Copies of this chain bind each other. A is one copy, B any other.
Amino acid sequence: MTDDADTQPIRPWVLIRETQRGTFSLFQMSESLMRSPVSATEHSFLRLDPPEWINVVAVTDEGSTILVEQYRHGVNKVCLEIPGGVVDPAEDPAVAARRELEEETGYISDSLHLIGVVTPNPAFQSNRCFTFLALGCRPEGTVHLDPAEELAVRLVPLSHLTQLIDNQTIQHSLVVAAHDHLQRGIRRGEPWAATLAPWL
């Protein structure tokens, strides 16, 4: 990596005072007065603290990937996505992934692989999103939806996932990131990639 000759090393800002701005359904919100380590000027930053999130690229033994279609209030549209949700307090992200997959789709898997971790928005969100690949999924579980969830399960050939992103049927940044994790893992030759090879 080449540094510009005139740049200083970047250091974290220093917390002066944090004020809670409320507890909402999806996150807590706070505002922090911070001091720059360079200029010593003060600036107020907003932060949302949601729980950790997970999402799942779930694949059946027939090479279908399991998608969910649901109404999304943020964009006021019905969206096509991979299954996902919130990690409960003290829950392991892999357990959350298995649980959310079953609750949203009725599919279960005994073969989960962590394929990537991102920070959904490091500028103002503190949480992470863990992406799992679930292999050998079979419809032997029990759907259990939250009161505000209305979902339709859609099976698509795994080989069509890229095309659904290319044509913007899928637009969710965390699903696009999950697709990237999958493709980079395949390029690295991860052990699980061999299982997917027949369907790519």
Which residues does A use to contact B, with CB under 8 Å?
Answer: 1-4, 7-13, 21, 24-26, 32, 34, 36, 38-39, 41, 43-48, 64, 67, 69-79, 81, 116-126, 128-129, 147-148, 150-156, 162, 165-166, 168, 171-174, 176-177, 179-181, 183-184, 187-188
Contact = CB atoms under 8 A, between A and B. Distances in A.
23 contacts: A3-B154, A4-B152, A8-B152, A10-B70, A10-B71, A11-B78, A12-B76, A25-B44, A26-B124, A32-B73, A38-B150, A41-B147, A47-B74, A72-B122, A74-B119, A76-B126, A81-B122, A119-B173, A121-B172, A122-B172, A129-B173, A173-B177, A177-B177
A153 B7 contact: yes
B121 A174 contact: yes
B166 A10 contact: no
A152 B121 contact: no
Given A148-B43, A162-B184, A188-B166, A173 B118 contact: yes
A173 B11 CA distance: 22
Nearest to A76: B12
B122 A12 contact: no
B122 A10 contact: no
Nearest to A171: B119
B168 A11 contact: no
A165 B150 contact: no
Contacts of A118: 171-173, 176
Nearest to A148: B43
Contacts of A48: 74
